[in-house]
Amino acid sequence: MPKNEECRYMKSHEWAYMDGTEALVGISDHAQKEITDIVFVETPKLGRKVSSGESVATVESVKAAFDIYSPLSGEISAVNPEISKDPAIVNKDPHGQGWLFRIRPSRKEELNSLMDWEQYQEFLKTQKH
Amino acid sequence: MALDEASLLFSPENVVTLRFYSWAEPSATFGRHQSFQFVERELKKEGKPALPCARRITGGGLVFHGEDLTFSITFPWGEPVTPNEIYQSLHNLIGEELRQEGISLNLKSEPSAITGLNKICFSVPEKSDITTPHGDKILGGALCRKNKRGLYQGSLKTSLISLSLSRIKQAIFRGVCVFGRQKPKEDIHFLEHSQTALLVEKYRSQNWRLRVP
């Protein structure tokens, strides 16, 4: 599973990590803390064609539903089967067992427009109260 | 439901909106990720299998409407604030305004023992719900965040409060003013017909109502 430093990040706190020809996607530790106790994850359908920035999944914590956006354009090639059984793994291990889906990117260059770890850390500082 | 989502999606970024609405007939709404099978089962248990019902975009549980005051708030949700903090803050502020009107109430401090999605909103108070001193739930709500805006949909049992409807609405309005640090817009006519028409279709569709997440 990818280390924080190996991922690229969206301002909406999704991460992407190129794993061969596919990208693994999840939400950051910051996001899972903000969302708090996740009780349900609705993942995208396999084979769905998505655009970067498109809402593709939702997570629900107690009483609140949150949209999850795709960091890259492409086709959904896998979803994490474990999160339907235990959604709380997204809280416990957002960069590991709590990954959300895989995407086969159609425009790999979009990865370059995402923030690297250092940029993401700087971005988070600007988000503080 | 469609107007609530339209307010969430299409209101200007920094605007707070507040909308009160009522029901033409007894109805129910249920949470975005609740299974329709669960809802059908509960409606049957209540002896209301044909009750009109709609899926909300917000989370939370099944709510029976008709004798409640329902309202929605949309607001900027850009800062790192948890849903629990928003829920607690909003209910604290509305609760305080109702107290100023002489109503005795509490804010539930502990989470309920019921976990998961299949809940009935008014059966058990959740953390930060407003209750009577005896523990009966007065106000509950649910949230959704899209991009950098949030939607709160609330249901208040007016029968548990000895206050006129207009005074209750004024108390909610004042609470929302403090919450949003601005006077909320109650007139959402800035939404264009084209923006709401598609959403109306969505909420009417079986695809949205029956969807199995």
Taking an 8 Å cut-off on Cβ atoms, the answer to whether B117 and A58 are in contact is no
This complex has an ipTM of 0.89
CA distance B171 to chain A (A): 23
Q: Report the pLDDT value the prediction gives residue B120, as an integer from 0 to 100.
A: 87
Tokens 């993401």, residue located: A120
Does residue A129 surpass a pLDDT of 70? no
> Rounded to an integer, what distance in angstroms lies between the CA atom of residue B139 and that of residue B163?
14
Question: What tokens were used for A102?
Answer: 């895989």
Q: Which residue has the higher pLDDT, A90 or B118?
A: A90
> Rounded to an integer, what distance in angstroms lies between the CA atom of residue B91 and that of residue B97?
10
Cβ neighbours of residue B119 closer than 8 Å, sequence gap 6 or more = B31, B60, B61, B62
> Quick one: average pLDDT of B133-149?
94
For B7-25, write each residue's pLDDT tens digit: 999 999 899 999 999 899 9
pLDDT band at B117 (very low <50, low <70, confident <90, very high): confident
Q: Which of A34, A45, A63 to mutate to test the interface with B (most CBs of B within 10 A)?
A: A63
pLDDT band at B118 (very low <50, low <70, confident <90, very high): confident
Question: What tokens were used for A123?
Answer: 């971005």
CATH of domain A4-107: 2.40.50.100
Which candidate, B172, B185, B198, places its Cα nearest to that of B1? B198
Question: Any idea where the domains of chain B sit in the sequence?
Answer: 2-209
- Does the domain at residues B2-209 carry the CATH identifier 3.30.930.10? yes
Average pLDDT, chain B: 92
Q: Report the pLDDT value the prediction gives residue A62, as an integer from 0 to 100.
A: 80
> Quick one: average pLDDT of A89-102?
97
